[in-house]
A = this chain, B = another copy of it.
Amino acid sequence: MAFKSIVLTSSLLLLVSITFYAIKFLHYSEVQKLENVYWGPGEPKQDDPEVRPFRIDLKENVLKDIHHRLNLSRPQIPPLEDTETQYGYSGKIMEEVMDFLKTEYNFKEQQKFLNTFPQFVTEVQGLKIHFLHVKPNVTDDVEVFPILMLHGWPSSVREYYGMIPEMVNPADGRKFVFEIVAPSLPGFGYSDAPSKKDCQGPEMALIFKNLMEKLGHRKFYVHGSDWGAVIGTHLSTLYPHQVIGFHSNFCISLANKSIFKILVGMVFPSLIFPEEFQHKWYPPMDTLRFFFSEAAYLLLQATKPDTIGVSLDQSLQGLIAFMFDKMSVGTDKDFVRFKDGGLPLKYNYTILFDNLIFYYWVPQKATTAARLYSQNLNYKIFQRGFYNNPVDKSVPCGCTVFAKEFLYFPEEVLRDTYRNLIHFTTHKDGGHFAGLEMPDVLVKDLLSFVEKTLPKTRRYF
C-alpha cells in the first residue's frame, strides 16, 4: 500500500537521522590546546619569577571596621510566622550569628591559626596566586607525592586545614605522604582576580598547571571539590601526562553521553540509578523544584555578579546571609526545616567564619568570586566542548560520594568522563562541604584512592 510505504519510509528516514545525530552527539569532542593568556590588567607584562612568603595580615583598621559594622546593624526582619528558613537565612538566625561574631569569634587567634601553614604568592600569567605550600618532614624511606588541592565556592583553602596534618605526617604503616599545594582560585582569597573576560575552567586549569611547574612539579596528584573539582577535571583532561591521579568529592560528568543517560534515567530510573540513589533524581519534578528553589544564587552570580557583588563586598551581613544560606542547604537540604538553618549541627561557627571573614570579607573577593559563575555558566563553555572531553585513560580517578551531596552521578555515568575510575565510594553521611564537615573521612578516602594508584605512581618517583 502507498500509505504503508510512506509511513515505513519516513519512519526509516527518521530512525536513520536520529541515529546519525545520536552518534555525532554521543561522540567525544577533540581536546583543544590552550594559550598562555595574560590575565592581569592592561598590556601583558613578564611574570615576577620569585615565589614570596605570605602571611594573612588582618590590619587594625580593617578589624576596627568589622567591629564597627557589627554594631551598626539595623533591627533584623523576623521570618514569616510558622516558617523556619524556608524563605532563606532569616533575621532570627542573623541575630544569633552576628552575636557570635561580636562576642565569641577571636579574630586574632584565628588569624594565627590560619597562618600555621606556610603560605606563598607568585605570579602566573599576570595574576598573583596565593597558595598554601606544606612540605612534610620525613625520612628517606617515606615517599613524598605532590598534590594540588582545589577549593570551590563559597569555600577557600580553609576547607583543607583539617585534612593537611594527616596528609603530611606519615601514619603507622603508611609509606607515603604529600607535599601539598592548595591555591586560592583566581578572584578568591589572596589570589588576584582576572581583569579580562573569559577566564573559564580550562584557563584556570592551565594557570594551576603553570603554578605547579613553577614550583618544580611536572607530575602531581589533583584533588578538587565544588568548582575545584571542575577545574581539576579540566586539568586532567588537558594535561593527562602530568596528573598522577585525580580525586574528588564532587565528581560530575557533563559529557553528552552522560546527559543522555541522565535524561533516560529520569524516565526509567532503574536503568541508570542504583536503587538507593534514585531519590536524588527521581521524581524529576522534585529535582526540578529543588533546583528552582536553590539555584537562584547561581543564576544571579552567573548573570549579575557585579550587582550582587556590591551587596556582598560592601555588607558583611549580606555576605553572611548569602553564604551561610548556601552552606546550610549544601550540607543538608532538609536543614530548611530548622530554626537555626542546621549549621550548628555539623560545624562550629568559628570554622565557617574563618572561611568567610579571612578569604572573602578581608580580601574583598565576593564580586570577583561570583564572576567565576558568570564566566563558566554560559553557552560558550558548552560550545567549547571541554565538558565533552573525557579524562585520558592514563589518569586513575577516584570519586567519593557523600550522602547529602545535592548532585549525584552514578558510577557508570561518571565513567563517561573518568574513564579510568579505579575508586568509587559512597558514605552514609556528609554533605557538599565534606572537607570542612568531616575532614577525617575525606582524607581516609583520598589516601585509600592513592594506595590504589601506587603500583603505577611508583614508576615516576
Contact = CB atoms under 8 A, between A and B. Distances in A.
Interface of A: 1, 3-4, 7, 41, 65, 68-69, 72-77, 79-83, 85, 87-91, 94, 194-197, 292-297, 299-300, 302-315, 317-318, 320-322, 325, 364, 367-368, 371, 374
Query: Copies of this chain, how many?
Result: 2
Contacts of A310: 76, 89, 91, 94, 315, 317-318, 320-322
A303 B294 contact: yes
Contacts of A295: 299
B88 A314 contact: no
A306 B197 contact: no
B293 A307 contact: no
A89 B314 CA distance: 14
23 contacts: A1-B3, A4-B4, A68-B72, A74-B313, A74-B314, A75-B364, A77-B313, A80-B195, A81-B195, A85-B306, A87-B306, A88-B307, A89-B304, A89-B306, A91-B306, A91-B310, A306-B321, A307-B322, A307-B325, A310-B317, A311-B317, A312-B318, A315-B318
Contact of A311 (B72, B321, B371): B321
B325 A318 contact: no
Given A80-B194, A311-B318, 15 more contacts: A1-B1, A1-B4, A3-B4, A4-B4, A65-B72, A69-B72, A75-B364, A76-B310, A77-B367, A81-B196, A88-B305, A296-B304, A300-B300, A307-B322, A311-B317
Contact of A88 (B89, B304, B320): B304
B296 A292 contact: no
Contacts of A85: 306
A393 to B, nearest CB: 37
Nearest to A94: B310
B41 A80 contact: no
A304 B196 contact: no
Given A195-B80, A321-B310, A305 B87 contact: yes
Contacts of A76: 310
B304 A297 contact: yes
